[in-house]
Amino acid sequence: MTAAIQRLILSALFVISMDGWAATASYLDASLSSDKRVELLMNQMTLDEKIGQMCQFVGEASDIDFDSKDTKSDYTLALGDRAGLIKEGKIGSFLKVSTYQEANILQSLAEESRLKIPLLIATDAIHGHGMYMGPTTIYATQIGLAASFEPELAELMAEYTAHEMRATGFQWAYSPNIEVVRDSRWGRIGETFGEDPYLVTEMGNAMVRGYQGKDFSSSTNVLASAKHFVGGGIAYNGVNGAPADVSERTLHEIFFPPFVGSIDNGVYTIMPAHNEINGIPAHAHEEYLTDLIRDEWGFEGFYVSDWMDIQRLESAHRIVDSEREADKVAVLAGMDVHMQGPGFFDNVKDLVKNGEIPVSRIDHAVSKILYSKFQLGLFENRYTDKQTVEATLLKESHLELALKTAQKSMVLLKNNGVLPLQQDIGRILITGPNADHQALLGEWARVQPHNNVITVLEGIKEQYAQGTKIDHVAIARHDVISSAELSRVGRLAKRADVVIAVMGENSLRFDKNKTSAENVDRPTLNLIGNQIELLQKIKASGAKLVVVLVNGGPIASEWLTENADAIVEAWEPGMYGGQAIAETLVGKINPGGKLPITVPRSVGHLQSFYNHKPSAFHRGGFYLSSRKPLYYFGYGLSYTTFDYSNLSMPETMSTSDSLSLSVDIKNTGDMDGDEVVMIYINDKVSTVTTPVRKLVAFKRVHLKRGEKQTLSFTIANKDFALLDRRMNSVIEPGEFEIIIGDRLKVATINAQN
């Protein structure tokens, strides 16, 4: 036998062997790549099973006793038709699951299906696993994290949140919210990172990395979901879900960058917005969902609809005349997973059979969904247990970070010398609707066990354990303070040396008396109800007035700004917010946060944001009022002082180069403290209008008293670019101002071709 014949026989045997392997290879083989497993599984799936992966339903979240021996049968009975659909492989994911026991039962039902495809269990884990029905770690909300100007905090928070989610059987976080805010009336500001696209991008990128890790293949990773695309923060009248009429230029300059950043950082799911964008609902916007985000920006994951928003293409937007047409338009536009609703499955199946939706569109969606399930390891490990839950929730490292997020989010807005409070104060009165209230937790969190939350009242009592008399007047509601409450505050304030009034909002998810949150937008930016009347009573007493604000959106009150002796913006600082606030008031923590959003003078001063165009106020201001905001983006005081010097950078740069610079910063005061160094640029003369200043870099630094550090920055070449008249990104030669906070300014950097 010749060598050539031997090679031919071996080659034929190899082909036969590979064909046999292909015939026996299984998608259940964990040694195969996720892509290969998806291919093998899809070859075995019926159309029904494929469409089922696109269907998301809600859990029962009922009063089932999960400790009883008949839990599964009781819960299955409560699920009704959904239990049968799971077993038939016609449901791919669940939302509003309450506990790990419920998640396990749902997964066990899925394992009874023909192909045993596990479910994705999703939740709104915005700043901790707060929607879980049990004690979990609740961190400062996003607006507070943004005030820290420390993306590392956001990344670690997302990582720890992912740990608690996976321990309890959840694998998909509807977070981060990376909408840029342009209307302060919007009730959802607390779950955003504020008004600046660069800050929002950096914080959002950090959270994506924290949730997903490198490729969401770890047993402690979850899927992130960048939301909501796009324009919720500039909706009509600030109303959640109302139309967004905004230019393409502004979309590309302000609202799109955070989503581009998330995609560049590997975000695997995106949730479109409730609203329409320039006449086209986000859930039906093929030009954005497919042409722009997928084809141009390179998004590799899948879309999930927001609550009932595909149905709203008919009921609210009225671009179609039936739910069937709504499902068709949405799927063809690029939507992959439908959040909640039994009609979607039958409609899509009928649309495919009639040739109105190609099977290739279904296959594309399902392949992305299945890839995530393989990559997350759910086929091998879909269950959790009590021991894992108890070992993970409220871990010491998680609690330490919860306190840190609160401490770093504090912004000192005003201080006439009353802060930090001294230890020899004779009598303190603590009052206000948020003095002893879990509104500290913010939106997207269930009320936690009392022992797991430190309120402001408890925090102050801890700081003044002896020697100081502490009075407390409880205020029952945020929106209506009774005459009896007002009278008692006025009487006790006359006896106090200092009054700490903890005011603001209540966005607790399940509180019937909440004053802001999703779908609770604000007609005023002032303190709600008659809270100012309470403060006026205190002011009239002659006691020192220290106001602590607990809120998601900015509070615009000229009276407060003019009359309080000190104001601390605490945002919604989470479970240990009371401790962080108290430590800030007594000086154990030196507040170093900065405003991530401009605080206007009133609701009549909207829109207010720092990066406006040069002509915004060139014709004057408002009648009988300053056009200047109460507090601008980046504002924040300290108990110490900082000095900037020795700015070093080249006088010229090429339009193809980045810019490197350094600056010295010294703590010149009497306390250790944090400073946020912010670098802005301004294109002095440009062929299209550009902002008066644009944030391009920032760094938070801790300096001991007397300490000096040299900080170095590199401003990316793309940050000098603008969109020209044809919407092309170009860097024009000319002069740029380099602005460091409000302290150093150089107007002679020359960009040259």
Alpha carbon 709 to its chain centroid, in Å, reads 32
What local confidence, expressed as pLDDT, does residue 220 receive?
A: 98
Of 582, 479, 497, 506, the closest CA to residue 538 belongs to: 497
Q: Which residues contact 73 (CB under 8 A, 6 or more apart)?
A: none
- Asked if the peptide bond before residue 317 counts as cis, ω within 30 degrees of 0, the response is no
The confidence band for 188, taking pLDDT boundaries of 50, 70 and 90, is very high
The pTM of this model reads 0.95
Strand 694-703 relative to strand 673-683, pairing = antiparallel
DSSP secondary structure, 561-577, as one string? HHH-SEEEE-----TTH
Please return the burial class of 14, using the count of CB atoms within 10 Å of its CB with bins 0-12, 13-18 and 19+.
exposed
How far is Cα 291 from Cα 174, in angstroms, rounded to an integer? 23
How far is Cα 572 from Cα 606, in angstroms, rounded to an integer? 23
Q: What domain count does the chain have?
A: 3
Any idea which of 424-438, 478-492, 597-611 has the lowest mean pLDDT? 597-611
What local confidence, expressed as pLDDT, does residue 64 receive?
A: 74
Q: Based on the fold, state whether residues 220 and 348 are members of the same structural domain.
A: yes
What local confidence, expressed as pLDDT, does residue 13 receive?
A: 44
Q: Based on the fold, state whether residues 473 and 548 are members of the same structural domain.
A: yes
Mean local confidence (pLDDT), 529-543: 97
Helices 359-375 and 34-42, axial angle in degrees (round to 10): 140
Phi, psi angle pair for 107, to nearest 5°: -65, -35
How far is Cα 197 from Cα 655, in angstroms, rounded to an integer? 23
Strand 642-648 relative to strand 659-667, pairing = antiparallel
Dihedral sign, CA of 346, 349, 352, 354? negative
How far is Cα 602 from Cα 557, in angstroms, rounded to an integer? 7
N residues, the chain: 753
- DSSP label of 119: P
What local confidence, expressed as pLDDT, does residue 19 receive?
A: 46
What count of other Cβ atoms lies within 10 Å of the Cβ of residue 211? 27
Of 125, 220, 219, 140, the closest CA to residue 174 belongs to: 125
Of the residues 357, 391, 425, which one is the last residue of a structural domain? 391
What local confidence, expressed as pLDDT, does residue 17 receive?
A: 43
Mean local confidence (pLDDT), 219-239: 95
Residue 373, SS3? Answer: helix
Residue 22 has pLDDT above 60, yes or no: no
Mean local confidence (pLDDT), 116-138: 97
Quote the domain boundaries for residue 431: 402-617
Residue 24 resides in a domain? no
Any idea which of 265-279, 366-380, 674-688, 734-748 has the lowest mean pLDDT? 734-748
Beta bridge partners of 637: 412
pLDDT above 70 covers what percent of the chain? 96
Q: Based on the fold, state whether residues 612 and 651 are members of the same structural domain.
A: no
Q: Based on the fold, state whether residues 386 and 406 are members of the same structural domain.
A: no
Residue 532 resides in a domain? yes
| Tens digits of residue pLDDT in 432-474 | 999 999 999 999 999 999 999 999 999 999 999 888 999 999 9
How far is Cα 692 from Cα 227, in angstroms, rounded to an integer? 28
Q: Based on the fold, state whether residues 581 and 708 are members of the same structural domain.
A: no
Mean local confidence (pLDDT), 222-240: 94
Of 64 and 20, the one with more pLDDT: 64
How far is Cα 55 from Cα 339, in angstroms, rounded to an integer? 7
Q: Average model confidence (pLDDT) for the chain?
A: 94
What local confidence, expressed as pLDDT, does residue 15 receive?
A: 40
Mean local confidence (pLDDT), 724-753: 86
For residue 514, what are its two tokens?
Answer: 């909440």
Of the residues 391, 415, 435, which one is the last residue of a structural domain? 391
What local confidence, expressed as pLDDT, does residue 301 receive?
A: 98
How far is Cα 694 from Cα 698, in angstroms, rounded to an integer? 12
Of 99 and 622, the one with more pLDDT: 99
What local confidence, expressed as pLDDT, does residue 575 receive?
A: 98
Residue 4 has pLDDT above 70, yes or no: no
H or E, element range at 550: strand 544-550
Of the residues 391, 423, 454, which one is the last residue of a structural domain? 391
- Asked if the peptide bond before residue 599 counts as cis, ω within 30 degrees of 0, the response is no
Residue 13 resides in a domain? no
Q: Based on the fold, state whether residues 583 and 682 are members of the same structural domain.
A: no
How far is Cα 673 from Cα 641, in angstroms, rounded to an integer? 9
Residue 548 resides in a domain? yes
Mean local confidence (pLDDT), 522-527: 93
How far is Cα 382 from Cα 120, in angstroms, rounded to an integer? 9
Q: Based on the fold, state whether residues 416 and 379 are members of the same structural domain.
A: no
Residue 80, SS3? Answer: coil
Q: Based on the fold, state whether residues 465 and 576 are members of the same structural domain.
A: yes
Residue 583 resides in a domain? yes
Q: Based on the fold, state whether residues 333 and 469 are members of the same structural domain.
A: no
Residue 636 resides in a domain? no
Residue 572 has pLDDT above 90, yes or no: yes
Q: Based on the fold, state whether residues 122 and 162 are members of the same structural domain.
A: yes
Specify the CATH number for the domain of residue 409. Answer: 3.40.50.1700
The confidence band for 16, taking pLDDT boundaries of 50, 70 and 90, is very low
Do residues 675 and 636 lie in contact, with contact meaning Cβ atoms separated by under 8 Å?
no
The confidence band for 18, taking pLDDT boundaries of 50, 70 and 90, is very low
Of 627, 150, 169, 229, the closest CA to residue 384 belongs to: 169
Do residues 109 and 83 lie in contact, with contact meaning Cβ atoms separated by under 8 Å?
yes
What local confidence, expressed as pLDDT, does residue 750 receive?
A: 80
How far is Cα 388 from Cα 167, in angstroms, rounded to an integer? 6
| Tens digits of residue pLDDT in 605-646 | 888 999 999 998 877 778 888 889 999 999 999 999 999 999
What local confidence, expressed as pLDDT, does residue 748 receive?
A: 63
Please return the burial class of 641, using the count of CB atoms within 10 Å of its CB with bins 0-12, 13-18 and 19+.
middle
Specify the CATH number for the domain of residue 666. Answer: 2.60.40.10
Of 557, 560, 555, 559, the closest CA to residue 571 belongs to: 555
| Tens digits of residue pLDDT in 344-355 | 999 999 999 999
What local confidence, expressed as pLDDT, does residue 6 receive?
A: 54
- DSSP label of 254: I
What local confidence, expressed as pLDDT, does residue 9 receive?
A: 47
Specify the CATH number for the domain of residue 90. Answer: 3.20.20.300
How far is Cα 462 from Cα 481, in angstroms, rounded to an integer? 27
Q: Based on the fold, state whether residues 112 and 240 are members of the same structural domain.
A: yes
Mean local confidence (pLDDT), 29-48: 98
Beta bridge partners of 498: 428, 544
Residue 5 resides in a domain? no
Residue 537 resides in a domain? yes
Q: Based on the fold, state whether residues 695 and 570 are members of the same structural domain.
A: no
